[in-house]
Amino acid sequence: MNIYIACELNYLEKKIIKKNLKRHNLYFSNLRFKKIADKNFLKCEIVFGNIPSDWIKQSSKIKWIQLESTGFGEYSNVKKNFLNKDVIISNLKSFFAHQVAQTVMAGIFSFYRGLDSFTLLKKEKKWIGDPIRAKLEILNDKNILFFGKGSINREIAKYIKLFNCKYSFIDSNSKKSFIIKKLKKAEIVICALPGTLKTKMLFNKELINSLSKQSILINVGRGNLINEKYLIKKLKNNLIKGAVLDVTAEEPLRKNNILWSCPNLILTQHTGGGYKNEMMDKINFFLNNFQNYLKNSKVLNKINPKKGY
């Protein structure tokens, strides 16, 4: 079987894949992705990694794509049954839950325990000490509102139980009046939503205005969820406590993007799901899912592009 590896791998990772798939023909991508498909890709039935969606319609052989991400917005418009065949696309749903949840917790504690401020003070060699103590907060008993009921928010919910926090969830069935009512009371708002037409710019001017002055807004879902221009205005005028953005509308941010200089904002540069053994664990997931594919078993994490998840 011909398999196209579109991930950036080091020597050891390539060696492990070759060892486990030695009976198959492997083609490793070493080119920058372009609209015209790699000739080696066109030979393959299976892909591990995120290829340009334009490549799929150029192939007469592709059968299964295992993405190395949870998000798959660029594949949402891929039509099924083109060239008289179905193409299975699977993602890494739930794979990043622990990592992202811990990034969220780090962001919360940075604001509540002043770590973001202390980092800047250290750089300035400026000692303030005792006057800061009265401004610090604790997580205990806070009111938290989750947007989304996926694996990331469920993982965070486990953590905050230790702090006796009150929390509730917003999902696709939640009415607007209910959402606004909850937002006004929430001290921490955590968004881990998939990228769909319904979630695009969900946090518009009205919803952002519903946030209390003591609230922290956290987005670890998709960058197009929030009206960033209006959020920046709120942050600059200290109308909310702060924001943590792991994802942004523009990635990477250009040097002139206002987010770089926005106060009360922590940018984690879409690294929330990262960790030391990330790629090795992705490889193991693919190898296990590949066995499911060969046995005609159900491929894990098969996505429905029409639904957006």
pLDDT digits (tens, 9 = 90+) for 3-52: 999 999 999 999 999 999 999 999 999 766 777 899 999 999 999 999 99
pLDDT in tens, 128-143: 999 999 999 999 999 9
Residue 83: the pLDDT is: 43
The pLDDT of residue 264? 96
pLDDT on residue 79: 55
Locate 298 and state its tokens: 């159900």
What six digits make up the tokens of 274?
């990262």
In the chain the domains, ranked by start, together with CATH numbers, are 2-95+276-294 (3.40.50.720), 97-267 (3.40.50.720)
| pLDDT lower than 50: segments of the chain | 81-84
Q: How far apart are CA 271 and CA 231, in angstroms?
A: 21
Q: Tell me what pLDDT residue 35 has.
A: 75
